[in-house]
A and B are shown apart, each in its own frame.
Chain A
Amino acid sequence: MSKSNPTDRLYSKDHEWVKDNGDGTALVGITDYAQEMLTDIVFVELPPIGKKVAQGEPVAVVESVKSVSDVYAPVGGEVVDVNKTLEDTPELLNRDAFNDGWIAKLKIADADELKSLLSAAAYDALIQEEKH
């Protein structure tokens, strides 16, 4: 069973989340539904600090035993921090995708981009649809 999607953040249709820190930065990660679909995550490739990404561009790579998946930036910006813990314990994404499994911290380029994202309720509806 997936964990419920926290209401303190926004979601992309590609199953990423972004949590606005209110100081011009935001944490990004993949959703619990995404980790459930990927199953056993065995490798995470993190972006270099200082890398600039546009909204919808790949910002990280997550690999299961079987598959290689891009993680798309739900919002554009500059990478100011990454979750180094994932390099040695990628399975953290399977255990806690919404909190300890955050992937990168971005300095948001344009806060208006957040308006294009989904609320927790809208994202719930999207994944219910995908399951059927």
Chain B
Amino acid sequence: MKKTPLYEKHVALKAKIIDFGGWAMPVQYTNVIDEHRTTRTNATLFDICHMGEIEVRGPQALDLLQLALTRDLAGQKTGQVKLSALLNDRGGIIDDLTVYKMAEDFYMLVTNASTREPDYLRVQSILEEKKFDCRLADVSDKTGKLDLQGPRSEEILRKLTPADLKGIRFYCFSEAQVAGIPAIISRSGYTGEDGFEIYAAAEKMGLIWDALMAAGAPLGMKPAGLGARDTLRLESGMMLNGQDITQEICPLEVPYGWLVDWNKDFAGKTALAAIKDAGIRKKLVGFEMTGRGIARHEYPVTKNGKVIGTVTSGTFSPTLNKAVGLAFVDIEFAAPDTEIDVVIRDTVSPAKIVKLPFYKRQK
């Protein structure tokens, strides 16, 4: 298994380590509920070094990304982050990734861990086909990433950086030192809380981790693992690539229609337009269990005994104290308040479709 630069820290903290797509990652240090609630009420620190970073540099970097990605990036300013989708020729989602505009001729793409190579190959093939004047570099191995998430994140990070954190708005970033190390500080995350994603050289991640732990621990900050990351993102209605989204799923079938800007050309547009014209047949929705049990990945969804869909993510929500999930259902059953059933082992248990997100923080 591949190890992040922080692997030894997790072992020393007695984290439970799992194989996450070929990476040895901490799933929990204490327990998921504790780490989840600490993120909602205080702050937690996540090792996210497994995610991918691809640099795009050159005079035609924007031209390449405009053609490769669904989102119109023409208005993006340096220092802004944009979420976008990268599609295959069938209109299916290869990745949902973030685009950092570092300079007029320099962008950084932040990819999911398992999609780093497919993303690179897809964007590189478009670059070669159109002979754009720019180049790609997969810098994932030399780039580390930490997520500091939760309402006390700014208070903790302020101790370690000269950056004007108050001035960094949601989905914006600043280049500044953290604990004396050059870093990118982005106000964003995957938990539904305020917080920061921090990028720096992989070999310096240990120093930043230690500095954040020392600064945060007296305030109640804790490290958190992928278990809490999963329940936090699910409560916030965010999808997990490879589980809720696959290459067979298009943005119109999931809550990603807003990532598609039809006023420009982009790879996969022809196929996606055909899907749009024909009309989608299934849709990803949020649901909560009204009966007993916890819905899990791949459990069947039924209505009057007939299978109408499949659960893609399901868990017990530590904030709401009930079982919630995401499921694909036939389009005629996708409206909020529709009563459905989830087959949990041998039992048919009632559930209800609800609007996403399940949890929204009070600002």
Contacts and interface: CB of A to CB of B under 8 A. Distances in A.
* Pairing of A with B: yes
Contacts of B31: 39-40, 65
Interface of B, helix, strand, loop or mixed by DSSP: mixed
Interface of A, helix, strand, loop or mixed by DSSP: strand
A65 B231 contact: yes
A43 B316 contact: yes
Interface in A17-69: 39-40, 42-43, 45, 61, 63-66, 68
B13 to A, nearest CB: 15
Interface string B141-185: 000000000000000000000000000000000000000000000
A61 B294 CA distance: 11
A44 to B, nearest CB: 10
Contact of B227 (A42, A61, A63, A66): A66
A11 to B, nearest CB: 23
B315 A43 contact: no
Contacts of A68: 294, 296
B345 A65 contact: no
Contacts of A65: 31-33, 36, 227, 231, 315-316, 318
Contact of B294 (A39, A40, A63, A87): A63
Given A42-B316, A43-B316, A64 B32 contact: yes
B28 A61 contact: no
B318 A66 contact: no
A43 to B, nearest CB: 5
A63 B294 CA distance: 8
Interface residues of B, number: 20
B293 A39 contact: no
B27 A66 contact: yes
Contacts, number: 39
Given A61-B345, A65-B315, A45 B32 contact: no
Interface in B283-324: 292-294, 296, 315-316, 318, 323
B316 A39 contact: no
Contacts of B27: 66
B31 to A, nearest CB: 4
Contacts of A39: 28, 30-32
A71 B330 CA distance: 35
15 contacts: A39-B30, A40-B31, A40-B32, A40-B33, A42-B294, A42-B316, A43-B316, A43-B323, A64-B32, A65-B32, A65-B36, A65-B315, A65-B318, A66-B27, A87-B292
A66 B32 CA distance: 8
Contacts of A40: 31-34
Nearest to A94: B31
Nearest to A91: B33
A75 B293 CA distance: 26
A39 B318 CA distance: 14
Contacts of A66: 27-28, 32, 227, 230, 315
B227 A45 contact: no
Contacts of A45: 293, 345
